[in-house]
Structure 1
Amino acid sequence: MDRAPITAGNFLALAKDNFYDGVTFHRVIPGFMIQGGDPLSKDADPTNDGKGGPGYFIKDEFYEGSSNVAGTIAMANAGAGTGGSQFFINIGDNTFLDYDKEPASSKHPVFGRITAGMDVLAAISAVDRDSHDRPLENVTIQDVIISDDSVSVVE
């Protein structure tokens, strides 16, 4: 939270507002990542998944020592400064996405990490999917539980 207060605070605020309840992991690439956070994934049209957000963008935050290693959570976006609600969880070590590596092309700020349940992430990353990496059966986020309520939320 200290290193990416805007990004982490945005995620926490959306979670507390139940924004993520019912969204799916709409993009799954084994050994690489699983992506979710798009409110459009709640509708019946899978072709618009990955195109939605909260209706605003947040500033990118990169910090020394951040790395897209297995278990980290990063902001998904369509370019610099276009993050909002979509995020991905690194299933493998994807250090080629690190902002400080050549070519410095990463636009995906790391803002958290998974502390338990990597086996669940591995199971999600192994689901059958179509040619666009969409799961054939929905993998739905039922509820996001904030376990440390002392964490501040940027509004």
Structure 2
Amino acid sequence: MRSLKLALAPLLCLAALAGCGDDDDTAPDPAAGEVACEYAEDGAQAAREVELPPSTAEEGDDVPATIETNVGALGITLDAGSAPCTVNSFLSLAEQGYFDDTQCHRLVTQGIYVLQCGDPTATGTGGPGYTIEDELTGDETYPARTLAMANTGQADTGGSQFFIVYADSQLPPQYTVFGTIDDDALAVVEKVAAKGAAGGAPDGPPTEKVTITGVTLK
């Protein structure tokens, strides 16, 4: 089993450079439930060219959406109350088509139970060219149906890769939880997991290829 540092983050180590959101200089309005977000350009080549997310995010309401895949629709609820900047980034990438026609490149079936997606290169090294600050309380847990960000094992290195937990997993509270999947989505991922990873390995590409065709808001 790989070390936990690598277990959810087979990304290249990224140099976190000071940065912010896009060119929108509008100050957030706390009274309207808005927060400021900083997205740090990491100096790496983006897997797909995208604009930085807006530097202001809405905080509070859950955002229902669907990850469309070749194996079935995955209904998700994004938690903009606990992780507004992460949700803001995910939605920005989705709107720009970043996730379209990408492979979920990793399935782990021992120790932890996750399907990892969000890398257009399907290598585990691709990202959007920027990183997201962690949104953690230190009390995070990772039961089945959790939707969380992968990282490099270092703080504030989330990008576009995310993981779906399909069975209760013991992980340290260092991965931003930004939503959940619904019961039907869990059943879809469980069927993929039941077929295992390529070659019978406990950690690798899923035997049943999972292709994200798009992300839509409900």
Class of the TM-score when normalised by the shorter of the 2 chains: 0.7 to 0.9
Aligned to 1:109: 176
Deviation at 1:65, TM superposition (A): 5.4
CA shift in 2, pair 1:137/1:92, >3 Å: closer
Deviation at 1:115, TM superposition (A): 2.0
Report the Cα distance in structure 1 between the residues aligned to 2:178 and 2:84, rounded to whole angstroms. 8
Report the Cα distance in structure 2 between the residues aligned to 1:7 and 1:20, rounded to whole angstroms. 15
Report the Cα distance in structure 2 between the residues aligned to 1:123 and 1:136, rounded to whole angstroms. 11
Report the Cα distance in structure 2 between the residues aligned to 1:145 and 1:133, rounded to whole angstroms. 27
Contact 1:3–1:63 (8 Å) recurs in 2: no
* TM-score after normalising by structure 2: 0.56
| Structure 2 unaligned blocks of 5 or more | 1-79
Is residue 9 of structure 1 aligned with residue 82 of structure 2? no
Aligned to 2:147: 73
Aligned to 1:50: 124
Q: Deviations over 1:107-136 (max 9, x none)?
A: 311110012421101112123423351124
Report the Cα distance in structure 1 between the residues aligned to 2:117 and 2:142, rounded to whole angstroms. 16
Report the Cα distance in structure 1 between the residues aligned to 2:95 and 2:132, rounded to whole angstroms. 18
- Percentage of matched positions with identical amino acids: 39
Report the Cα distance in structure 2 between the residues aligned to 1:123 and 1:137, rounded to whole angstroms. 9
Aligned to 2:192: 124
Contact 2:150–2:158 (8 Å) recurs in 1: yes
What count of residue pairs does the alignment treat as equivalent? 132
Q: Which one has more relative contact order, counting CA pairs under 8 Å at least 6 apart? A: 1
Q: Return the match for 1:63 from 129, 137, 148.
A: 137
Report the Cα distance in structure 1 between the residues aligned to 2:92 and 2:175, rounded to whole angstroms. 19
Counterpart amino acid of residue 182 in structure 2: T
